[in-house]
Amino acid sequence: MTSPSRKSVSQAIRQLKHHESKNGTRVFPLTLLCPDWTDPRNVGSAFRLADAAGLRELVLAGTTPRPPHPRIRKTARATESTVPYRYVTDSLAYLEEARRGGATILALEITDTSIPLFDYPLPAGEIVLVTGAEAAGVAPELLDRCDAAVHLPMYGKNTSMNVAVAAGAAVYLFLMKLQ
């Protein structure tokens, strides 16, 4: 007897076309803050992530490239025209505003007190996930404004991931807990 998850050789798996896929529409209480990113392709990836994961908002801050930008548009595949986003010049002021609104502020960063995201108990309500700049990580002044730091466990020799990849992994771990 074969496992129900295994297909016989004669049964083909067919990829669905875009019009055949029925996505549910849902918005989660999660905002992604992208301060001082440098690569517009990472920004485009953040737009696609925000769209796919149903994020409440994407906040581009400081020197982060923003639409309209050809590299953002190419990577975002037009999601920059549908995802709720805003640009702020001052990340610290944005975090204070979010805190006054009741949000929990979490840094996605390995620190001396960070908790693996697998183990972090999600708080109720709005969450702002602060991501780091590509080369420098989360700036110390932003870390000082966070309620906690969470990290993705790293099992290889490297101690970091591309910011867009790390954000994607973290967001989907959050979604697993928010379901």
Here the CATH number for the domain that contains residue 128 is 3.40.1280.10
C-alpha–C-alpha distance, residues 41 and 56, integer Å: 21
Q: Specify the pLDDT at position 9.
A: 64
Q: Are 142 and 107 in contact (CB under 8 A)?
A: yes
Overall domain count for the chain = 1
Q: Specify the pLDDT at position 24.
A: 78
DSSP for residue 14? -
Cis-peptide, bond into residue 153, ω within 30° of zero = no
Q: Is residue 19 situated within a structural domain? A: no
Q: Specify the pLDDT at position 22.
A: 80
Statement: residue 6 has pLDDT above 80: no
Q: Is residue 107 situated within a structural domain? A: yes
Q: Is residue 7 situated within a structural domain? A: no
C-alpha–C-alpha distance, residues 38 and 63, integer Å: 7
74: which residues sit within 8 A by CB, 6+ positions away?
41, 44
